């Protein structure tokens, strides 16, 4: 069952044998039998995976921190096939784990016990693209990077950009309401997703795949499924608004001596760059050290306690470069920035995107405890400082980086291997600290398996009860991604 790496897998027993934090009992779902497998093989011949070694990669998350015991992976190609799969599973009381690119960081993308894995990997077709409005309609299994390449050829960009873009699926992005590097400029998926096609737990298909930007008729049902992490329905297609591709993209990489200077630089940046500012990211010196050590990448500016990555996107390269250079001159003259460089061509811009590689570098440090938190901007780095003092030598590294423009901190703690005592020192302290600051315990990764029991640090009990009622209404048998996102009703 799904357990922290190093705790051992107990096969398919009915109780996950871990600490109270992850303790969970298998719900009374049916067990998979040969006639079930035979039905699926008739439905989608050649797209049913049953071999132990073949299924194994689908049972383990990207971080290799949790794992399940599924014996079956299904790979539908159409909404009709998804509908037939869920109708059958609903009738037979078989639990289902929807899986996209399996790049999630909170254990939401893999089974906990023996749930059937429903992979959308083969649902990867673009349905339509309107070159006038920039509205893209596609199947949910399309890889984000492939979509980015497709719309860029038409003169547009995806409103979403992630470090995992080479493997994550757009359906998974929507199901987790992924944030990413462009949220400061283009907003969240709750605003850019125009419509969805969703298959409900009983197999009925809900076609709300509108391409209208304005539709004020009744409840906005798509919002129920955006961020629901596959617990309310399986997203099979997405309609999304893509912005015009900017003609000029510039990147500045800066060094700051204190986090207070990082904040002041952000204030100056917004005032001077205004409408062309598209991203404002920060990382601390520990992040840079790990990127340099493990990935052999070098910083474009001199050693500094903090680094800032600024991206601008506009329509006039001369105008944008002038604004960016004026900002950099003022920031350095006023002592906010100690060093800085501007990249304007594609090669230099890609070289400057060190921020995207931090997660990769961290995974080479051993076991990683990852926390994705939303905080008031002024308090964003205080938690990193406090965790370093609290953990001392028990942690190998405590690093902080993230989307400062929208108050999103990525707190990462590394150790040689998983430690139960270290986890006890981190949780629930990190959530209690966040709650005291009126923050959110998950800014963009969702709750999944690892955080579901902590939801009340960010939501009142009444809201959690209402969410459970939505779940019970749309999935009465609870077969969709069980043990995830919501605590079990008391």
- Encode pLDDT of 76-134 as tens digits: 999 999 999 999 999 999 999 999 999 898 999 999 999 999 999 999 999 999 999 99
Residue 93 pLDDT: 98
Residue 4 pLDDT: 43
Would you mind telling me the total number of residues written for the chain in this entry? 490
Mean pLDDT over residues 4-33, rounded? 63
432-463 pLDDT, tens digit each? 999 999 999 999 999 999 999 999 999 999 99
Task: Give CA–CA dist 319/323, Å, rounded.
Answer: 6
Residue 8 pLDDT: 35
Is the pLDDT at 152 greater than 90? The verdict is yes
Is the Cβ–Cβ distance between 82 and 239 less than 8 Å? Answer: no
Mean pLDDT over residues 171-189, rounded? 91
Residue 17 pLDDT: 39
Structure tokens at 60: 């383990």
**Strand ranges of the sheet holding 48-49, from the earlier edge strand across to the other edge:** 48-49, 73-74, 116-119, 96-99
Task: Give CA–CA dist 422/418, Å, rounded.
Answer: 8
Residue 346 pLDDT: 64
Is the pLDDT at 174 greater than 60? The verdict is yes
331-382 pLDDT, tens digit each? 999 999 999 888 866 655 555 567 778 888 898 988 999 999 999 999 999 9
Domains and CATH numbers, the chain: 18-119 (3.30.43.10), 126-241 (3.30.465.10), 248-437 (3.30.70.2190)
Residue 284 pLDDT: 95
Task: Give CA–CA dist 3/16, Å, rounded.
Answer: 7
Residue 280 pLDDT: 93
Task: Give CA–CA dist 414/423, Å, rounded.
Answer: 11
CA 236 to centroid of chain Cα atoms: 18
Task: Give CA–CA dist 319/337, Å, rounded.
Answer: 22
Is the pLDDT at 20 greater than 80? The verdict is no
Strands (E), 143-233: 193-199, 205-208
Residue 88 pLDDT: 98
Q: What is the pTM of this model?
A: 0.90
Residue 11 pLDDT: 47
Mean pLDDT over residues 36-56, rounded? 96
Task: Give CA–CA dist 257/410, Å, rounded.
Answer: 20
Mean pLDDT over residues 167-174, rounded? 95
Mean pLDDT over residues 128-144, rounded? 97
Spatial neighbors of 384 by CB under 8 A, at least 6 apart, are: 284, 398, 399, 400, 409, 411
Residue 15 pLDDT: 45
Mean pLDDT over residues 254-268, rounded? 96
Higher pLDDT, 73 or 182: 73
Residue 32 pLDDT: 96
Mean pLDDT over residues 291-302, rounded? 85
Q: Which residue has the tokens 């794992």?
A: 67
Is the pLDDT at 154 greater than 50? The verdict is yes
Residue 347 pLDDT: 54
Mean pLDDT over residues 185-213, rounded? 95
- Mean predicted lDDT score pLDDT of the chain: 91
- What percent of the chain is predicted at pLDDT more than 90? 76
């Amino acid at each position: 069952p799904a357990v922290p790496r190093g705790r051992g897998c107990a096969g398919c027993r009915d109780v996950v044998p871990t600490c109270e934090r992850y303790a969970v009992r298998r719900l009374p779902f049916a067990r998979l039998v040969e006639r079930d497998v035979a039905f699926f093989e008739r439905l989608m011949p050649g797209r049913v995976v049953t071999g132990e070694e073949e299924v194994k990669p689908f049972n383990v998350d990207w971080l290799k921190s949790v794992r399940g015991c599924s014996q079956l992976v299904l790979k539908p190609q159409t909404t009709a096939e998804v509908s037939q799969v869920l109708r059958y599973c609903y009738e037979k009381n078989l639990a289902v784990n929807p899986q996209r690119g399996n790049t999630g960081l909170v254990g939401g993308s893999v089974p906990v016990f023996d749930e059937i894995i429903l992979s959308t990997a083969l649902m990867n077709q673009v349905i339509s693209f309107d070159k006038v409005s920039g509205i893209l309609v596609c199947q949910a299994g399309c890889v984000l990077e492939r979509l980015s390449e497709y719309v860029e050829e038409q003169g547009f960009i995806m409103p979403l950009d992630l470090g995992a873009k080479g493997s994550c699926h757009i359906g998974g992005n929507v199901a987790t309401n992924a944030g990413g590097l462009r949220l400061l400029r283009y907003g969240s998926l709750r605003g850019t997703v125009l419509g969805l096609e969703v298959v409900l737990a009983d197999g009925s298909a809900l076609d709300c795949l509108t391409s209208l930007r304005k539709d004020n008729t009744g409840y906005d049902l798509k919002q129920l499924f955006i961020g629901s992490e596959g617990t309310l329905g399986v997203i099979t297609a997405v309609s999304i608004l893509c912005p015009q591709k900017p003609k000029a993209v510039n990147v500045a990489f800066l060094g700051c001596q204190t986090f207070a200077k990082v904040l002041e630089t952000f204030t100056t940046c917004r005032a001077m760059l205004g409408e062309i500012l598209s991203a404002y990211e920060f990382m601390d010196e520990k992040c840079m050290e790990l990127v340099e050590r493990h990935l052999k990448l070098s910083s474009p500016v001199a050693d500094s306690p903090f680094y800032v990555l600024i991206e601008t996107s506009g329509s006039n390269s001369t105008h944008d470069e002038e604004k960016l250079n004026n900002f950099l001159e003022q920031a350095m003259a006023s002592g906010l920035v100690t060093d800085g460089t501007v990249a304007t061509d594609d090669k230099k811009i890609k070289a400057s995107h060190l921020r995207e590689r931090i997660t990769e570098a961290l995974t080479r440090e051993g076991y990683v405890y990852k926390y994705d938190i939303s905080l008031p901007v002024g308090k964003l780095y205080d938690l990193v400082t406090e965790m370093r003092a609290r953990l001392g030598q028990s942690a190998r590294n405590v690093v902080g980086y993230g989307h400062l423009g929208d108050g999103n901190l990525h707190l990462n703690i590394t150790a040689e291997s998983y430690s139960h005592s270290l986890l006890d020192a981190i949780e629930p302290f990190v959530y209690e600290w966040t709650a005291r600051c009126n923050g959110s315990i998950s800014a963009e990764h969702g709750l999944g398996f690892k955080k579901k029991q902590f939801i009340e640090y960010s939501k009142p009990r009444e809201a959690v009860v209402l969410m459970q009622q939505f779940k019970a209404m749309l999935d009465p048998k609870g077969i969709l991604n069980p043990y995830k996102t919501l605590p079990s009703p008391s």
